[in-house]
Chain A
């Protein structure tokens, strides 16, 4: 059984950057700020490449919906072992307004076009923390979904996935084709090697627009306000537990 795997990779602000709210208070500063691949997507790519090395997958396609620079993110995926890329170009001004539903629709369309057998996505992006694209993609395709995967094993025609849930670990079986979302402990992504970075230059990245896939990217949401979290206040010492309980009640905490 040789699967074609589509993996979504998103270009996000690098996790180490200090985020600053834009003066217009409708977003965060992205100009000139360091961006990199969403860490959960790195894990997704790594898993897909490992599936290829185990001969379970035959081809890994890296897909990114984003501005021109998203190509760098796709190249990183190619350097890690993806075979080719698809860049769905979203104009820079609209990138912020791109929603999980738009991406899910795009992924669903590409699944049809590419005749994919498996979609692996990062569980959430570290900029919007939506944790929705994988679920929506599965729903649009009417495919089973295995989210928060910390282990994936292949059995005949099926995947056995260990999921990290609040109660602990849950092991489920999903029939292929399926959508999986990668959680932190699924694997540790490899470094690209220099030879692979050089080879990645020759791998193909197809370019297209959302409209080419018949997907309308008009926003359904409007951001009203973006603000820094409140400055941390000093704590207060209390004499005894009774005072503590009173103060908590006064603050409406209990």
Chain B
């Protein structure tokens, strides 16, 4: 297959003709030099059908996740929301399929898949229950943090249990006094012999009180990010307690509690990575977490637009199905376009993270803010298209809406995402 390079106005083009090739890597020469493509992703077309643009293996993965979501999660999502149940058994069944530590390496029991694979999995599972999928993604993020930064004995001890979801994990960064200003966190971890004594509290912790393993960003050193370490604290450790279960608008299938440390003693060997590396670990974890959360929003939007399409074909007013009205058609056109744009942005960011692309942080931030905002609007429109029925809890769109609203806030508010993107744009990136 010929690769033609044509130089014109300093822009190099790369042509390969056929877009269906799977295993050949087409090198693309650009102004920045050779970009080693690690997947055939860029040669495929992304569309409203989420399984377009995926390799054969990814299509099988997407299908598996969708089947699981539709059979095991969707019938229960309303009950989990209403009764605020943490669906431990269903999540363990998902973990048995390999969904517990998707992008942790196979070495200690992770599934060893890519960020893009994880994104399509969370997108598919979100149709079954967006809130539960979001928790699964948080659990995955924690497993990866241990897998990537932990030492071999920590990995040996925790990865197998987390991959199987025998134990559940929580990510503890936010505090009552530090949200967006995460680096100003004040939970301390003071050395006492070979131990650390933790004091402070964490707020809004997903899974808090029900999970077994807490990755706690706490201050072992001086002010600012460099004084922060990541410490693993197990439930049951004396001095570790929890606040009341928060009552939330959505995300009700996962408990949210304050996590409180009062002279909580943990061995210093529980530090993940090195002392002072905690903030870096937290942020690296969040890069992936942002793609995952965006993928959850995307999946919820996809499910909502599908529900809306089914509804408007059936519901009639003025003797015609709603789908024949131009307004309905225009709304759906806009919604569909937003969903495809979101999908492109998320998958691109996933690929960037996988490839350790220099613009990774900006791309993940773009994906997170754009997708969580636009997909929330899509779900909102889908609810509107359902008319009065959309407001009833008998229909799932309202739950997708309530569950996805918080995606604009956590794992870095969309405002912080804008800060990160602006920093990139104003820096020396050209």
* A residues with CB within 8 A of B: 36, 71-72, 75-76, 79, 191-195, 197-198, 200-201
Contact = CB atoms under 8 A, between A and B. Distances in A.
Contacts of B96: 193
Contacts of B60: 72, 75-76, 79, 192, 197, 200
A192 B59 CA distance: 13
B102 A194 contact: yes
Contact of A194 (B56, B67, B98): B98
Given A76-B60, A194-B113, A200-B60, 14 more contacts: A72-B56, A72-B59, A72-B60, A76-B63, A191-B64, A191-B97, A193-B97, A194-B64, A194-B99, A194-B111, A195-B98, A197-B57, A201-B56, A201-B57
Counting from the closest, the 6 A-B pairs by CB-CB distance are: A194-B98, A193-B97, A194-B111, A197-B60, A193-B98, A191-B97
Nearest to A195: B98
Contacts of A200: 60
A30 to B, nearest CB: 16
Interface of B: 56-57, 59-61, 63-64, 67-68, 96-99, 102, 111-113
Chain A contact residues, majority secondary structure: helix
B229 to A, nearest CB: 32
B59 A194 contact: no
A192 B113 CA distance: 15
Nearest to B68: A191
A45 B113 CA distance: 26
A198 B106 CA distance: 12
A36 B51 CA distance: 13
24 contacts: A36-B63, A71-B56, A72-B59, A72-B60, A75-B56, A76-B63, A79-B60, A191-B64, A191-B67, A191-B68, A191-B97, A193-B98, A194-B61, A194-B97, A194-B98, A194-B99, A194-B102, A195-B111, A197-B57, A197-B60, A197-B61, A198-B57, A198-B113, A201-B56
Contacts of B57: 197-198, 201
Nearest to A190: B97
A78 B98 CA distance: 17
A198 B113 CA distance: 9
Contacts of A72: 56, 59-60
Contacts of A201: 56-57
In this complex, the member of A36, A71, A195 whose beta carbon has the largest number of chain B beta carbons within 10 angstroms is: A195
Nearest to B96: A193
A48 to B, nearest CB: 19
Max chain A Cβ within 10 angstroms of own Cβ: one of B59, B60, B96, B111: B60
A39 to B, nearest CB: 12
A36 B70 CA distance: 15
A79 B56 CA distance: 12
A201 B112 CA distance: 15
B152 to A, nearest CB: 22
Nearest to B121: A194
A107 to B, nearest CB: 25
Nearest to B99: A194
A32 to B, nearest CB: 9
Nearest to A198: B57
